[in-house]
Amino acid sequence: MESIITAVSLSSGHTFSKSTQKSIRLLAGVGVEGDAHSGVTVKHRSRVKRDPTQPNLRQVHLIHAELHDELRAQGFNVSAGQMGENLTTRGVDLLGLPTGTRLHLGKEAVVEITGLRNPCYQLDDFQQGLLKACLDHDAEGNLIRKAGVMGIVLVGGDVFPNDSIRVEFPSEPFQPLQPV
């Protein structure tokens, strides 16, 4: 299966859901142009409260469309951008990528994966039960967070639906994703 971007989204305000767009522009070291979460330092309100000088490791939020498929099969009504993601992908095991993986998006943009999105109560505010549906446990009982990954923009550029994704793994040993 080809790895592609299925949708691109942004919101200029601190809203839970983001509106899908015909394209978005990624800015190196900043994030998605015009998105409330773009910036060199943290923009998520809870993190700003703790320490507004922290580097923004959450410039771009990516969710795999396969999660939307899984959630719809459970009766949830979800589509691209509604869970707050900027990039909806298909054909990439986002949750299985190691920290530091670089995703080459379309013609020029590059996003480096910094960690997992830690799903929060806002998922239940959007649709009751969605938070629990975005959490699971592996065979050893470890928590699996399925609500996507976060990244920083290394190389800017315009990104469109149907753009290809090329995965570049970091040097071994790989470090598993942790919540950021």
Q: Residue 128: which CATH number? A: 2.40.33.20
pTM above 0.85, yes or no: yes
Task: Say if 22 falls within a structural domain.
Answer: yes
Where does the pLDDT of residue 47 fall: very low under 50, low under 70, confident under 90, or very high at 90 and above? Answer: confident
What are the backbone angles phi and psi of residue 122, rounded to the nearest 5°?
-60, -25
Does residue 52 sit within a domain? yes
Reported as a pLDDT band with limits 50, 70 and 90, residue 45 is confident
Residues 6+ apart with CB under 8 A from 141: none
Tokens describing residue 151: 């990244």
- Tens digit of pLDDT for each residue in 68-92? 999 999 999 999 999 999 999 999 9
Dihedral sign of CA atoms 87, 92, 57, 143 in order: positive
What tens digit of pLDDT does each residue of 124-178 get? 999 999 999 999 999 999 999 999 999 999 999 999 999 999 999 999 999 999 9
173 falls within a domain: no
pLDDT band per the 50, 70, 90 thresholds, residue 1:
confident
The DSSP bridge pattern shows strands 143-145 and 135-137 to be: antiparallel
Residues spanned by the domain of 56: 4-168
Q: Give the pLDDT confidence score for residue 88 in this predicted structure.
A: 98
Whether 69 is in a domain gets the answer yes
Domain count for the chain: 1
Q: Is residue 11 part of a domain?
A: yes
Q: Are 49 and 171 in contact (CB under 8 A)?
A: no
